[in-house]
Amino acid sequence: MKGLREYVIPFIGPKNGLHHFNFEIGAPFFSHFPDSLIRECGLFVDLAFDKKERLFVLNFDISGTISTECDRCGQALDLPIHGNHTLYVKKGEQPEEEDEEEDITWIADGESELDTSEWIYEFIHLSIPVRKLHPDLADGTPGCNPDILARLGHNEDQPKDSDPRWDQLRTIIKDK
Protein backbone atom coordinates (compact mmCIF):
# COMPACT_ATOMS: atom_id res chain seq x y z
CA MET A 1 0.00 0.00 0.00
CA LYS A 2 1.22 3.45 -0.82
CA GLY A 3 2.12 5.59 2.16
CA LEU A 4 2.80 2.62 4.40
CA ARG A 5 6.40 2.01 3.34
CA GLU A 6 7.68 2.41 6.92
CA TYR A 7 5.95 -0.87 7.85
CA VAL A 8 7.88 -2.87 5.23
CA ILE A 9 10.69 -4.99 6.69
CA PRO A 10 13.54 -6.09 4.42
CA PHE A 11 14.75 -9.52 5.44
CA ILE A 12 17.59 -10.05 2.97
CA GLY A 13 20.10 -7.76 4.74
CA PRO A 14 19.69 -8.54 8.45
CA LYS A 15 21.45 -11.59 9.86
CA ASN A 16 19.61 -14.50 11.40
CA GLY A 17 18.47 -13.77 14.94
CA LEU A 18 16.13 -11.46 16.82
CA HIS A 19 15.45 -7.93 15.52
CA HIS A 20 13.12 -5.30 17.02
CA PHE A 21 11.02 -2.73 15.17
CA ASN A 22 8.92 -0.07 16.91
CA PHE A 23 6.00 1.63 15.23
CA GLU A 24 3.84 4.51 16.42
CA ILE A 25 0.34 4.15 15.01
CA GLY A 26 -2.02 7.11 14.65
CA ALA A 27 -4.94 8.32 12.54
CA PRO A 28 -2.86 8.59 9.31
CA PHE A 29 -2.23 4.83 9.42
CA PHE A 30 -5.95 4.00 9.53
CA SER A 31 -6.78 6.47 6.73
CA HIS A 32 -5.29 3.88 4.33
CA PHE A 33 -7.96 1.35 5.40
CA PRO A 34 -11.45 2.62 4.49
CA ASP A 35 -13.33 -0.05 6.49
CA SER A 36 -11.47 0.60 9.74
CA LEU A 37 -13.40 0.91 12.99
CA ILE A 38 -10.66 3.19 14.33
CA ARG A 39 -10.22 6.83 13.39
CA GLU A 40 -8.34 8.39 16.34
CA CYS A 41 -5.76 6.55 18.41
CA GLY A 42 -2.38 6.58 20.06
CA LEU A 43 -0.92 3.11 19.69
CA PHE A 44 2.51 1.57 19.85
CA VAL A 45 3.55 -1.68 18.20
CA ASP A 46 6.72 -3.45 19.28
CA LEU A 47 7.51 -6.02 16.62
CA ALA A 48 9.99 -8.75 17.54
CA PHE A 49 11.22 -10.27 14.27
CA ASP A 50 13.05 -13.57 14.76
CA LYS A 51 14.77 -14.46 11.49
CA LYS A 52 15.76 -18.04 10.80
CA GLU A 53 16.91 -19.63 7.55
CA ARG A 54 13.47 -20.40 6.07
CA LEU A 55 11.15 -19.28 8.88
CA PHE A 56 10.36 -15.89 10.40
CA VAL A 57 8.56 -15.54 13.72
CA LEU A 58 6.85 -12.18 14.16
CA ASN A 59 5.56 -11.23 17.61
CA PHE A 60 3.38 -8.10 17.63
CA ASP A 61 3.02 -6.43 21.05
CA ILE A 62 0.32 -3.74 20.81
CA SER A 63 -0.51 -1.14 23.47
CA GLY A 64 -2.13 2.27 23.65
CA THR A 65 -5.57 3.85 23.46
CA ILE A 66 -8.23 4.26 20.81
CA SER A 67 -11.06 6.78 20.70
CA THR A 68 -14.42 5.08 20.38
CA GLU A 69 -17.93 5.21 21.83
CA CYS A 70 -19.14 3.50 24.98
CA ASP A 71 -21.52 0.64 24.20
CA ARG A 72 -23.66 1.49 27.23
CA CYS A 73 -24.12 5.27 27.02
CA GLY A 74 -22.83 6.18 23.55
CA GLN A 75 -20.47 8.85 24.87
CA ALA A 76 -16.85 9.30 23.78
CA LEU A 77 -14.42 6.87 25.38
CA ASP A 78 -10.63 6.60 25.32
CA LEU A 79 -10.25 2.85 25.52
CA PRO A 80 -6.92 1.27 26.47
CA ILE A 81 -6.06 -1.79 24.41
CA HIS A 82 -3.34 -4.37 24.72
CA GLY A 83 -2.59 -7.36 22.57
CA ASN A 84 0.12 -9.85 21.80
CA HIS A 85 -0.07 -11.79 18.54
CA THR A 86 2.38 -14.20 16.93
CA LEU A 87 2.65 -14.93 13.23
CA TYR A 88 4.85 -17.47 11.44
CA VAL A 89 6.10 -16.77 7.92
CA LYS A 90 7.71 -19.56 5.89
CA LYS A 91 9.73 -19.10 2.73
CA GLY A 92 9.03 -21.38 -0.20
CA GLU A 93 6.07 -22.65 -2.12
CA GLN A 94 2.93 -23.38 -0.16
CA PRO A 95 2.22 -27.11 -0.12
CA GLU A 96 -0.76 -28.18 -2.19
CA GLU A 97 -2.42 -30.02 0.66
CA GLU A 98 -3.24 -27.25 3.04
CA ASP A 99 -2.90 -28.18 6.68
CA GLU A 100 -5.27 -25.38 7.71
CA GLU A 101 -2.55 -23.81 9.82
CA GLU A 102 -3.94 -20.30 10.20
CA ASP A 103 -0.90 -18.81 11.91
CA ILE A 104 1.45 -19.66 9.03
CA THR A 105 1.85 -17.38 6.04
CA TRP A 106 3.87 -18.41 3.02
CA ILE A 107 6.05 -16.14 0.88
CA ALA A 108 7.83 -16.98 -2.37
CA ASP A 109 11.57 -17.60 -2.38
CA GLY A 110 12.14 -14.53 -4.58
CA GLU A 111 10.62 -12.10 -2.07
CA SER A 112 12.98 -9.78 -0.20
CA GLU A 113 10.69 -7.88 2.18
CA LEU A 114 7.58 -8.25 4.34
CA ASP A 115 4.79 -5.67 4.40
CA THR A 116 3.54 -5.81 8.00
CA SER A 117 0.94 -3.02 7.67
CA GLU A 118 -2.06 -5.30 7.06
CA TRP A 119 -1.05 -7.63 9.88
CA ILE A 120 -0.68 -4.65 12.23
CA TYR A 121 -4.12 -3.41 11.14
CA GLU A 122 -5.74 -6.80 11.73
CA PHE A 123 -4.04 -7.44 15.07
CA ILE A 124 -5.02 -4.00 16.38
CA HIS A 125 -8.66 -4.68 15.52
CA LEU A 126 -8.44 -8.12 17.14
CA SER A 127 -7.15 -6.45 20.31
CA ILE A 128 -10.28 -4.31 20.73
CA PRO A 129 -12.53 -5.72 23.48
CA VAL A 130 -15.96 -6.95 22.45
CA ARG A 131 -17.66 -4.70 25.04
CA LYS A 132 -16.39 -1.13 25.12
CA LEU A 133 -17.56 0.42 28.40
CA HIS A 134 -16.50 3.27 30.64
CA PRO A 135 -14.67 1.83 33.66
CA ASP A 136 -16.63 1.72 36.92
CA LEU A 137 -15.96 4.42 39.49
CA ALA A 138 -14.30 3.70 42.85
CA ASP A 139 -17.69 3.28 44.54
CA GLY A 140 -18.74 0.62 42.01
CA THR A 141 -21.15 2.76 40.00
CA PRO A 142 -20.79 2.83 36.21
CA GLY A 143 -18.54 5.57 34.84
CA CYS A 144 -21.05 6.38 32.11
CA ASN A 145 -23.00 9.61 31.73
CA PRO A 146 -25.55 9.51 34.60
CA ASP A 147 -28.20 11.44 32.62
CA ILE A 148 -28.18 8.86 29.85
CA LEU A 149 -28.18 5.98 32.33
CA ALA A 150 -31.19 7.57 34.06
CA ARG A 151 -33.02 7.78 30.73
CA LEU A 152 -32.16 4.18 29.92
CA GLY A 153 -33.27 3.05 33.38
CA HIS A 154 -36.47 5.09 33.10
CA ASN A 155 -37.46 3.20 29.96
CA GLU A 156 -36.82 -0.15 31.65
CA ASP A 157 -38.88 0.74 34.74
CA GLN A 158 -42.00 1.60 32.74
CA PRO A 159 -44.66 -1.09 33.07
CA LYS A 160 -45.49 -2.52 29.70
CA ASP A 161 -49.07 -1.92 28.66
CA SER A 162 -50.69 -5.14 27.74
CA ASP A 163 -52.77 -5.49 24.61
CA PRO A 164 -56.33 -6.46 25.65
CA ARG A 165 -56.65 -8.88 22.74
CA TRP A 166 -53.69 -10.89 24.03
CA ASP A 167 -55.12 -10.80 27.55
CA GLN A 168 -58.35 -12.35 26.27
CA LEU A 169 -56.41 -15.06 24.43
CA ARG A 170 -54.40 -15.83 27.56
CA THR A 171 -57.59 -16.32 29.59
CA ILE A 172 -58.97 -18.68 26.94
CA ILE A 173 -55.77 -20.75 27.04
CA LYS A 174 -55.79 -20.85 30.85
CA ASP A 175 -59.44 -21.99 30.94
CA LYS A 176 -58.75 -25.09 28.85
Listed in sequence order, the residues at least 6 apart from 156 whose beta carbon sits closer than 8 Å to its beta carbon are none
Q: Tell whether the model's pLDDT for residue 175 goes beyond 80.
A: no
For residues 123-141, average pLDDT: 89
Q: Tell whether the model's pLDDT for residue 43 goes beyond 80.
A: yes
Q: Tell whether the model's pLDDT for residue 97 goes beyond 70.
A: no
Q: What is the pTM of this model?
A: 0.77
- Strands in 92-171 per DSSP E: 104-107, 113-115
CA–CA gap between residue 106 and residue 64 (Å, rounded):
30
Q: What's the structural domain count of the chain?
A: 1
For residues 65-84, average pLDDT: 92
CA–CA gap between residue 51 and residue 40 (Å, rounded):
33
Domain extent, residue 82, equals 5-175
- Could you count the other beta carbons within 10 Å of the beta carbon of residue 114? 19
